[in-house]
Structure formats: C-alpha cells, structure tokens
Amino acid sequence: MSERRKEERYVMPEIYRKYILFKLTTVSGDAVDAELFNFSSRGISIKSRCRFTVDSPIECLISVPKSLTKEIPFTGKIKYCIEDEPGGDYLIGAEIIRTSDKVWFDLVLKVHDFIKGRIGDIF
C-alpha cells in the first residue's frame, strides 16, 4: 500500500508528552482518554479505549504548556477506528477539518521540531 499523505507526520514518542499535551472531547462535550501518536496539519492518529463511528466529529485541543500558554482547538472527522486487540484499545485516524487559529496550530508543529532537535531522536 503506498503512502497517500502529502505532509510530514510528527510522531509523538512518550517522552514528548510532557511537552505537548492533547485533549479530546466528543461533540457533546464528554472528555475522552486518548493518546496522540502522530499529527500533521491535515490529520491525527490516536489510541483510545473508546470506539468512534467513522465520519463522527471530534473536538481536540493541543498545547505546549511549558512554552506557550495557549490551547489550540481544532475539529476532526473520524476516518477509521480499528480495534487493536479484542477487548483492548482502538487505533483511530481523524482528518483535521477545521482549526480556529491556523497560525498557532502551525506554531505547534514548529515547536515539535524544536523539541525533537533538543532531545534528539528517540528511536
């Protein structure tokens, strides 16, 4: 299967999670535990105990609390939701369909590059 993504994906190793925070809520406002695996300007990949329906909307916040005090909200649409193992977590992909502040969202992408440069490659 060939890669269809046109933009770079920013991987979120566990060590980065203390620098870049991610929150997920359903459109009804219910908070959902989710772990961000990677992100780009067009999409995210997450892991969650919750199952989502394809094409359902989600509301997300991403922030860099040790560097920036602003939380950047964006809306996504679920593209796939696959059970990782029976009775386990779900692997979820979502398309980013709207961000209220593209300048700040793009800045988070740049901060990720800065963190990676300071910490070094984890892999």
The residues facing 90 across adjacent strands are 48, 83
Closest CA to 58 of 93, 18, 85: 93
Provide the pLDDT confidence category of residue 114 given band limits of 50, 70 and 90. low
Provide the pLDDT confidence category of residue 109 given band limits of 50, 70 and 90. low
Note the pLDDT of residue 76: 93
Residues 59 and 92: their CA atoms lie apart, in Å, by: 14
pLDDT at 121 over 60: no
Homologous superfamily of domain range 10-112: predicted glycosyltransferase like domains (2.40.10.220)
Instruction: Enumerate the domain spans of the chain.
Output: 10-112
Residues 85 and 63: their CA atoms lie apart, in Å, by: 30
Do 40 and 9 contact (CB within 8 A), yes or no? Answer: yes
For 63-103, the pLDDT digits (tens) are 777 666 678 889 999 999 999 888 889 999 999 998 877 77
For 20-64, the pLDDT digits (tens) are 788 898 878 889 988 888 887 788 899 999 999 999 999 998 877
